[in-house]
A and B are shown apart, each in its own frame.
Chain A
Amino acid sequence: MIYLEGLSVLGPGLPDWASTAACLRGEQDFVAADVALPAVLALPATERRRVGTAVKLAMATGFAAVTDAAADAVQLANIFSSTGGDCDNCHNLLEVLASDERLISPTRFHNSVHNAPAGYWGIATGCTAASTSLCAYDATFAAALIETATQVLASGQPCVLIAFDTAYPEPLYSQRPIPYPMGVGMVLSPQRTAASKAALQLAFTGDAAAVMADAGLEQLRRTIPAARSLPLLQLLASGQPGRVVLEYLDDCQLAVTVGA
Chain B
Amino acid sequence: MNANGKNNNEHEPMVKITNLKMYFPITEGIVFRRHVGDIKAVDDITLDIIQGETLGLVGESGCGKSSTGRAILQVYRPTAGSVEFEGVELTSLEGEELRQMRRHMQMIFQDPYASLNPRKTVGSIISEPLEVHDMLSGSARVDRVKELLEIVGLNPYFINRYPHEFSGGQRQRIGIARALAAQPSFIICDEPISALDVSIQAQVINLLEKLQKEFNLTFLFIAHDLAVVRHISDRIAVMYLGKIVELTDRISLYRNPLHPYTRALLSAVPIPDPVAEAKREEERVILQGDVPSPANPPLGCNFCTRCPAVTQVKEQKAIDCFTVEPPFSEVEPGHWVACHLHDPPSSV
Binding between chains A and B: no
- B interface residues, Cβ below 8 angstroms from A: none
